[in-house]
Structure 1
Amino acid sequence: MTTPEDSIGYRGPDTAQWEVTEVPGRRRRVTVRHRPLAGLHPQDLLWWWSHVEGTCLVDGLLMTRFRAWHPRDHVLWEPVRVGSDGLLGPGSRVRVVEAFDADPDQRVDVVERVERLDERGVRLVRRRFGLTVATVQHSWSTGHRGTECVSVLEVGSPLPGTGPLNLAMTRRALPVSVCRAWVRHTVEETGRLECLVPAARQASSAADTTSRASACTCARCSGPRKDSA
């Protein structure tokens, strides 16, 4: 188990099963099958991804939800485009900055498009010059011991004829050392959701209740009332 930096701590990579595979077209894929998230449902993970923009308390310290998700590695979550409801959803774009193991040499600063976000999971796509160069997908399903979660990172374009480009990208962006770092990172951040999501949802619900309770209920604001007979 990784040494915790707060009361939540981190899961270790040994709690998950993972593999690196070479995909046709000289793409590279990393697959992580996490230990089930006890007490969570797919709807909870959908809520979290839709509401990453916000704050929460960890050990009495107020921080952004993104930072709380992984205090060591996460740097910035900056929505570029969201839905009309102000939430992240299909078609949204978000800038993500993180550094695996807080190592500047493994810093990632990308803009990703949300291709899918529903109760089955989330799929993020990175594109350059009109080509898909990387995808990150987290798939969720209900299991006997909690929510089953599988994370997949794939580097390379699926288009025909991009093999040489894919080979160069995987060598540069996803060597074996980075594969291991990403596995550790995604296992750690996924495991923290067991504690973060219930607390964040409860705090959000309480805030909504307080907001409604503090709303003005005078006749001018609430509209005309009918006297009871």
Structure 2
Amino acid sequence: MKAPHLPAPRPVLWPLRPLDSAAVWTASNDGRTVVTIRHALLSDVTPEMLSWWYGHVSGTMKYAGEIRPRYLVWHPLDHIAYDVTSPATDGAVGPGARLHITEAPGRDLDQLIDIKVGVEQVDSQAAIISSRILGTSLVRLENEFTAARGGTRYVTRMTIGDRTAAGRLGLNHLAHTRAFPPAKLAAWIRHHIEEIGNLENFLPDLFRYRSDHEP
């Protein structure tokens, strides 16, 4: 398979959040690894905006004087491609949709994340996706949002592996050694803190001036 092409970096118009802006902790149990990230407050962002965003990532927006894919703006250095390979039954990005996501944390193709996931939930409380094989979750990413004074509290939970028999018999090993080995997981944590923090810089205006075709 041909390796993904790393597109030219987009201008970075705002500082990316540092790793220590979030609280991060990791727990291992039953063959699974769970990484929890409590992000700093997303100022001027509401749960309604986040629900809309996760349903409309695949559009375009004006950024640095050009019309660009929103996904490439979300993280202007690391993101490569975001494809809706199968929408939900209502044509939207919601439960039942399938996505193909490609990104290189730190612009390092040795840490490439090239993953196909299913959407489990998108609403004003959470956005949840997972990659599953034989009914077993290799990776599950839960993004939870709660309204707070001045913005939104945002907590991410990444679960690698599952409690199923298939997980214990080998898929958990695959998840930890192929999908997210330690170096890639560490790179992803930094990347994720940066991309979530970046939402407060463009999402309020994007949501305010969204197209009539994107309710």
TM-score of the aligned structures, taking structure 1 as reference length:
0.82
Contact 2:24–2:38 (CA under 8 A) maintained in structure 1 = yes
Q: Distance in 2 between matches of 1:112 and 1:161?
A: 18
Match status 1:142 vs 2:147 = yes
Contact 2:136–2:166 (CA under 8 A) maintained in structure 1 = no
Q: Distance in 2 between matches of 1:167 and 1:44?
A: 37
Secondary structure of the residue aligned to 1:80 is strand
- Alignment counterpart, residue 97 of structure 1, candidates 81, 102, 114: 102
Report the equivalent of 1:221. Answer: none
64 and 168 in structure 1: CA distance in 2 versus 1, 3 angstrom threshold: closer
Secondary structure of the residue aligned to 1:97 is strand
C-alpha RMSD over aligned residues:
1.9
Contact 2:11–2:64 (CA under 8 A) maintained in structure 1 = no
Secondary structure of the residue aligned to 1:162 is helix
Contact 2:89–2:96 (CA under 8 A) maintained in structure 1 = no
* AA at the equivalent of 1:183: I
Residues 9-20 of structure 1 correspond to what in structure 2 (within 5 A)? 9-20=15-26
Q: Distance in 2 between matches of 1:87 and 1:178?
A: 31
Report the equivalent of 1:215. Answer: none
* AA at the equivalent of 2:52: W
* AA at the equivalent of 1:159: T
Shift of 1:136: 0.7
Percent identity over the alignment? Answer: 30
Report the equivalent of 1:111. Answer: 116
Q: Which has the larger radius of gyration?
A: 1
Residues matched between the structures, number = 203
Give unmatched runs, 5+ long, in structure 1.
210-229
Report the equivalent of 2:6. Answer: none
Q: Distance in 2 between matches of 1:162 and 1:42?
A: 33
Shift of 1:32: 0.5
Shift of 1:85: 4.8
